[in-house]
Structures are given as structure tokens and as C-alpha cells.
């Protein structure tokens, strides 16, 4: 009976959301024009913002958290080096990164997504675009970046880091450093990748050549700077032999 009740409860909850992908029908080909419009609009608005660094991380991070200040510092210092900062445009890590960019006086990009909950645009962007489709937004988060910085986050952040690594593995984007910030936070994920996924041969060590782990803003800045100037990868490797 418990399982039946849960199923009914979930079914009732489904009525409160519009599940756009599930609701797509072949008659809705007009929707393709909206998708094309989002891509074209993004390309137009973001043209010329390079060099840029994309910073990912949790939308639920509080402003009093140490990680908020560290994110803001990283973005500010990268901005002072001339990098535009790109985020998902929401609160938490994204807000901190955009705030740092604004303090540095560089282009502060927020690529927001229209969601039923959680994603409210932050007030620290100089270019803000709101997308209806995740995949159009993901293209913009990746296309203009010189490096990717992955702060601690949840399911969305995990999705973003694995997608970035997959795009590099399949040569769909140019190789750039991917920085995981906080070895304490990402340690379990990396242990699983090495002891389970790599051990079974489902990935190769080469897939992680550009993945680095940093615990201090100085390390992040050095990693991004060395790659941008010399195409040299520095920092602690994520997967250790």
C-alpha cells in the first residue's frame, strides 16, 4: 500500500509542472523556431566576450559561506586578468562569481534558465540571457570559455562537469583546463571514478588529462593563467596513478 500511495502522490504532483520534453509532439515543429531563436540570440549577445571563464556550482550556496567568498575572489582576480566571467546567472555560486566579475569591471554574463523553482536571476550581471531550453543554454556556457571552474554543487553541477569532460573526450570542443575546487568535496567522486569506473575500463586516464583539483584561489588563478599564456597544464591531477 505504501508504494501505491507514493505513486499516486507523485502522479498528483506531476500536475503542477509542465514537462516540456515529455509533452513534445510531432505537430509542434514550430517549437524549433524558438530553439533556433535562442541559439541565434545567444550568439549575437555573447559575440566578442572572449577570453572568458565559465564558473559552475550550487545555486543553494549561502552568502555567508566561506565558499561564496572564495568564488567571488576567484572571479574578481580572473576579471582583473582580463577574463569575462560566465555563469548560469542564478543565486549561490553563480551570484558570487558574477559579483566578483562586476567588482573587476569586466563583462559579467548570466545565462539563466526558466525553471518552476530555485533559479532567480542575480543582480550582478552586465549581460543576462534567459533560456527556455537547457541544451541551448549549455552551448553558450561552453562555447566561449577558455577554462572551466567547477565549484561544489549538486546534480546540475555534476551534469555540467561530466558533460564538459565528455565534449572534450569526443572532440566536440577544444581542450581546456577543468578545475574542481575543493578536494574535500570532490574526493569521493574522484575516488569512485578511479576505483570503479576507470578500474572497469569504462574510461581512460587520457580522458582526465586536463582535470585538476585546487583548494585555494591562488591555485585556480595559476592553472587558468598558465594555460591561457603558455598552453601549459599545471596543478594537482584529479586521478592519481
* pLDDT per residue as tens digits for the range 15-48: 455 666 676 665 567 778 888 999 999 999 999 9
Is residue 1 in a domain? Answer: no
Q: Which residues of 24-54 are buried (b: 16+ CB within 10 A; e: fewer)?
A: eeeeeeeeeeeeeebbeebeeebeebeebbb
CATH of the domain at 82: 3.40.50.450
Is residue 157 in a domain? Answer: yes
Task: Provide the pLDDT for residue 9.
Answer: 42
Is residue 211 in a domain? Answer: yes
Domain membership of residue 183 as a residue range: 28-237
Is residue 19 in a domain? Answer: no
Give the residue-averaged pLDDT of 111-124. 82
This prediction's pTM: 0.87
Is residue 17 in a domain? Answer: no
- Nine cell digits for residue 169: 573526450
Is residue 117 in a domain? Answer: yes
128, with CB counted inside 10 A (0-12, 13-18, 19+), is middle
pLDDT band of residue 6 (cuts 50, 70, 90) is very low
Is residue 67 in a domain? Answer: yes
Structural domain total, the chain: 1
Amino acid at each position: 500500500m505504501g508504494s501505491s500511495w507514493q505513486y499516486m502522490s507523485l502522479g498528483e504532483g506531476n500536475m503542477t509542472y509542465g514537462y516540456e520534453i515529455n509533452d513534445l509532439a510531432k505537430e509542434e515543429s514550430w517549437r524549433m523556431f524558438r530553439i533556433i531563436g535562442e541559439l541565434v540570440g545567444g550568439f549575437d549577445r555573447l559575440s566578442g566576450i572572449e577570453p572568458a571563464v565559465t564558473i559552475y556550482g550550487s545555486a543553494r550556496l549561502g552568502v555567508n559561506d566561506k565558499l561564496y567568498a572564495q568564488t567571488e575572489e576567484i572571479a574578481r582576480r580572473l576579471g582583473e586578468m582580463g577574463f569575462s566571467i560566465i555563469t548560469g546567472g542564478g543565486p549561490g555560486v553563480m551570484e558570487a562569481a558574477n559579483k566578483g566579475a562586476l567588482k573587476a569591471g569586466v563583462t559579467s554574463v548570466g545565462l539563466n534558465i526558466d525553471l518552476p523553482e530555485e533559479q532567480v536571476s542575480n543582480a550582478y550581471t552586465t549581460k543576462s540571457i534567459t533560456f527556455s531550453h537547457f541544451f541551448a543554454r549549455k552551448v553558450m556556457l561552453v562555447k566561449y570559455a577558455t577554462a572551466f571552474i567547477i565549484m561544489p554543487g549538486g546534480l546540475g553541477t555534476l551534469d555540467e562537469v561530466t558533460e564538459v569532460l565528455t565534449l572534450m573526450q569526443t572532440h566536440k570542443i577544444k581542450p581546456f583546463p577543468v578545475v574542481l575546487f575543493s578536494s574535500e568535496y570532490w574526493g569521493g567522486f574522484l575516488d569512485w571514478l578511479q576505483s570503479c569506473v576507470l578500474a572497469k575500463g569504462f574510461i581512460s586516464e587520457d580522458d582526465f588529462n586536463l582535470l585538476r583539483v585546487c583548494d585555494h584561489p591562488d591555485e585556480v588563478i595559476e592553472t587558468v593563467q598558465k594555460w591561457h599564456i603558455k598552453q601549459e597544464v599545471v596543478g594537482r591531477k584529479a586521478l592519481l596513478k
